[in-house]
Amino acid sequence: MRQDINNWFISPNGENTEYVTDFFSEIIAQLIDNSSNRSQEELVPLLREDFSFINELEEPHDLAQILQKLSTIYDNSMNASSVGYIGQMDSIPNIGAIVGDLITASINNNMLANEMSPFLTWLEQELIQVFCRWFGFDKRAGGVMTSGGTLANIQALLVARNIKLNSKDGNVYNSSKQPVFFASEHCHSSILKAGMFLGIGTENVIKVKTDNRGKISIDCLRSDIDRSLQEGKMPFAIVSTFGTTNSGSLDEVDEIQSICNQYHLWHHIDAVYGGAMTLSENQKHICPSFEHADSVSFNPQKWMFVSKTCSILIFKNNKQFQNSFRIAAPYTSETNAINLGEFGIQGSRHTSVLKLWLSVYLIGKKSFGKIIDLNMKITKSFTAFVLQNEHLELYTKPELNILLFRPKKRVGQSEKEYKKSLSDFQNYLYHKYIYISLIPWKNEMWLKCIFLNPYFDDNELKKLKEIIEAYFE
């Protein structure tokens, strides 16, 4: 049995160092080979193979069998590393993040409590302070890391409810009036899920109409708040979005902040995507005054190329956040140390701070800014191409690196024929190893592309233009 155990674990006594070294060498070699040869692979595989092997779980398997199965998994996974994968907010992970995930798995610390992750607990708090400064907050700010933007947004609104409704125990039934909060009609789905988590229901998440650019209408927001007050309801928060998922629209965050101040409402900014603009000295001028908001969510797993999942939730007043949300863990030692599991929705959770720190340490804030600048330059160039092409139309000039466009509808073409032609155009690009998503937006269908991959440069843009031009010849 001892030998079998040495085939499955890294011996803390160094008994199987040679075997483990060979094992990981083979695994890493396959990983690098796969990642280095993805440009001409399927972008979104159709899962045509036989996957019955996943049920072969009764007996152990050796390295050769594992490598064979991993090859199948690689071949049937979404190919976000390809420069042609420009249809979603997923991209190639940086090598610091990959290493961080590997090390995190090997040390297997638990972010629930300080005694289970002493250094990483300290590192998370220190790194959050760095991001607080980058977003303009002062030393009173702080926060937590979460497993993705959905949990960050939900927790922000849970804290908003606890503070604004004075209900740390989360019992909204003690309220004499119906609590409601406001968000864009194009807000992320996590905001509606928050309505369920908060116990107020999705119907009490008031979805505010947007203008033709996809931004919250300030006039409609004021009207919705006033109407809710007239109806005897209790508004407690507004969610603004700095980079919507479908169109990359940027709400007028500073104006919304003024409304929050006027009505004494909590202001949460969903900057999960667009918050990365603060990393670039050339782009940060479009950023709002994040530091005036009560909370901000941001995902390094997107425009910082950190492997999933990795999200940060910042609170302007960290002590207020902690006092309103902390639930002590009775199974940890009673010390003055911070136990992060007491301040988050999750108790035990994956350690995402190490891969984030390694990413920033490897690349540096200035270089992240340069990559963002490149992405924005490519977006601007492609926008000009669409505007100049007689066969294409643009929804609106993009504010981020997300762009909606489509072939123009031909004279006499029915709506059904037009929708099919959009799908045909998408399929044509796909067979040229370019994935652009086809999405509903403002009751119409549009093609969405996101210039996120750092390898998508002027040469790749030239290829894309030529491929599109060839379609209309």
pLDDT one-digit tens code per residue, 160-210: 999 999 887 767 777 789 999 999 999 999 999 999 999 999 999 999 999
| Domain boundary residue, one of 364, 397, 427 | 364
- Sheet with 179-184: list strands edge to edge: 142-146, 311-315, 295-298, 266-270, 234-241, 179-184, 205-208
- Tens digit of each residue's pLDDT (9 = 90 or more) over 170-180: 677 777 899 99
Per-residue pLDDT for 88 more than 80?
Answer: yes
| Domain boundary residue, one of 346, 364, 382 | 364
Of 69-73, 141-145, 151-155, which gets the smallest average pLDDT? 69-73
Residues 218 and 327 in one domain: yes
Range of the domain at 451: 366-471
Residues 279 and 133 in one domain: yes
| Domain boundary residue, one of 347, 364, 381 | 364
CB 277 within 8 Å of CB 220: no
Residues 312 and 196 in one domain: yes
User: Which residue, 246, 143, 234, 241, is CA-closest to 191?
Assistant: 241
Would you say residue 179 lies in a domain?
Answer: yes
pTM, two decimals, is 0.96
CA distance 360 to 121: 18
Would you say residue 65 lies in a domain?
Answer: yes
Residues 394 and 466 in one domain: yes
Cβ neighbourhood burial of 297 (10 Å; 0-12, 13-18, 19+): buried
Residues 300 and 204 in one domain: yes
Residues 320 and 426 in one domain: no
248 confidence band (pLDDT: 50, 70, 90): very high
Residues 148 and 268 in one domain: yes
334 confidence band (pLDDT: 50, 70, 90): low
Per-residue pLDDT for 128 more than 80?
Answer: yes
pLDDT of residue 321: 97
Would you say residue 460 lies in a domain?
Answer: yes
Residues 294 and 180 in one domain: yes
Residues 173 and 74 in one domain: no
Residues 12 and 69 in one domain: yes
Instruction: Give me the long-range contacts of 115-121 (CB less than 8 A, separation at least 24).
Output: 115/332, 115/333, 115/335, 115/337, 116/332, 117/351, 118/337, 120/351, 120/353, 120/354, 121/337, 121/338, 121/339, 121/340
In the chain, the number of structural domains is 3
Residues 394 and 246 in one domain: no
User: Which residue, 436, 373, 366, is CA-closest to 400?
Assistant: 373
- Sheet with 444-450: list strands edge to edge: 392-394, 402-407, 444-450, 437-441
Mean pLDDT of the chain: 94
Domain of 200, CATH number, reads 3.40.640.10
Query: How many CB atoms lie under 10 A from the CB of residue 22?
Result: 12
Residues 149 and 227 in one domain: yes
Would you say residue 360 lies in a domain?
Answer: yes
